[in-house]
């Protein structure tokens, strides 16, 4: 087949692929005897499944070939078989648990940050009740107040997303170097456009959620006295619940 110049497989800095080991036997140091060797188990074969072939079907076919070879060459193939694995599974086999642990750690950190911001927003909403009451008394409707709170929340979320992207840009290279050779395809780890877009959307989502919580807590509907009402046991319980959940 034809591969683009950017493809580094199975490792970087490869000069060329050899179509068949028999074309360049000196690469393995066995000369012309290579085609006759039946115990050269150091070869790895990469294949592409057809659209209508499943992995289980391919495994069954390879097992049948292995059994036939075992019958033809019992001295070398009696206890030999084939191990057919998806390329992605083979690539990250030794690092899957570490990637999963890093993902969970990032998710927990994001959750803790979201709880912190929500708790701060609740506190700020409580301090703004007088301002909200004045606006309600002057005729401001709930939608107008919601727009203001949403704009503040979106700015907060986007600011956090941009700060996170900036920190990632600075520290990503150091993190990849620290993981060293244990990280598969480390050279391809980079901050790409889909990741940036996802982070910005996540920032807006968190900002929207925090704004809606703060909007409900300020109670800007009905009589202005509602906005001036105390926090109440419900609000206090919500704040305490957030702290408890974070701990």
- For residues 5 and 126, the model is more confident at 5
Model confidence at 233: pLDDT above 70: no
d(CA 129, CA 224): 9
pLDDT of residue 213: 78
Q: What angle do CA 164, 122, 159 make, to 5 degrees?
A: 20
SS3 241: helix
Please answer whether residues 191 and 244 qualify as being in contact, where contact means their C-beta atoms are separated by less than 8 angstroms.
no
- For residues 184 and 222, the model is more confident at 184
Model confidence at 225: pLDDT above 70: no
- pTM, full prediction: 0.59
Please answer whether residues 12 and 191 qualify as being in contact, where contact means their C-beta atoms are separated by less than 8 angstroms.
no
Q: What's the whole-number mean pLDDT along residues 94-116?
A: 85
Model confidence at 224: pLDDT above 60: no
- For residues 219 and 242, the model is more confident at 242
pLDDT of residue 65: 93
pLDDT of residue 144: 74
Q: What's the whole-number mean pLDDT along residues 91-108?
A: 84
pLDDT of residue 128: 65
Instruction: Give percent above pLDDT 90 in the chain.
Output: 17
Q: What's the whole-number mean pLDDT along residues 158-187?
A: 84
Model confidence at 60: pLDDT above 90: yes
Mean pLDDT rounded to a whole number for the chain: 78
Q: Which of 1-5, 29-33, 77-81 has the lowest average pLDDT?
A: 29-33
Model confidence at 10: pLDDT above 90: no
d(CA 41, CA 76): 10
Q: What's the whole-number mean pLDDT along residues 166-193?
A: 82
Quick one: how many helices (H) and strands (E) in the chain? 9, 0
pLDDT of residue 196: 93
Instruction: Give percent above pLDDT 70 in the chain.
Output: 74
């Amino acid at each position: 087949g034809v591969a683009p110049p950017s493809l580094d497989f199975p490792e970087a800095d490869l000069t060329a692929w050899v179509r068949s080991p028999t074309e360049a036997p000196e690469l393995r140091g066995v000369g012309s005897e290579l085609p006759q060797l039946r115990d050269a188990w150091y070869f790895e074969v990469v294949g592409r499944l057809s659209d209508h072939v499943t992995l289980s079907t391919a495994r069954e076919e390879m097992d049948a070939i292995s059994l036939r070879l075992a019958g033809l060459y019992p001295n070398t193939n009696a206890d030999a078989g084939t191990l057919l694995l998806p390329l992605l599974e083979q690539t990250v086999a030794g690092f899957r648990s570490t990637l999963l642990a890093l993902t969970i750690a990032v998710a927990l950190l994001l959750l803790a940050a979201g709880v912190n911001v929500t708790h701060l927003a609740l506190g700020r909403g409580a301090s703004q009740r007088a301002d909200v009451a004045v606006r309600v008394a002057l005729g401001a409707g709930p939608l107008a107040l919601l727009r203001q709170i949403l704009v503040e929340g979106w700015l907060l979320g986007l600011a956090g997303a941009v700060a996170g992207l900036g920190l990632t840009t600075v520290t990503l290279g150091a993190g990849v170097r620290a993981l060293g050779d244990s990280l598969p395809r480390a050279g391809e780890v980079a901050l790409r456009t889909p990741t940036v877009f996802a982070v910005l959307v996540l920032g807006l989502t968190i900002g929207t959620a925090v704004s809606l919580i703060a909007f409900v807590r300020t109670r800007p509907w009905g009589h202005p006295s509602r906005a001036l009402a105390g926090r109440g046991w419900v609000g206090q319980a919500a704040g305490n619940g957030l702290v408890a959940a974070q701990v």
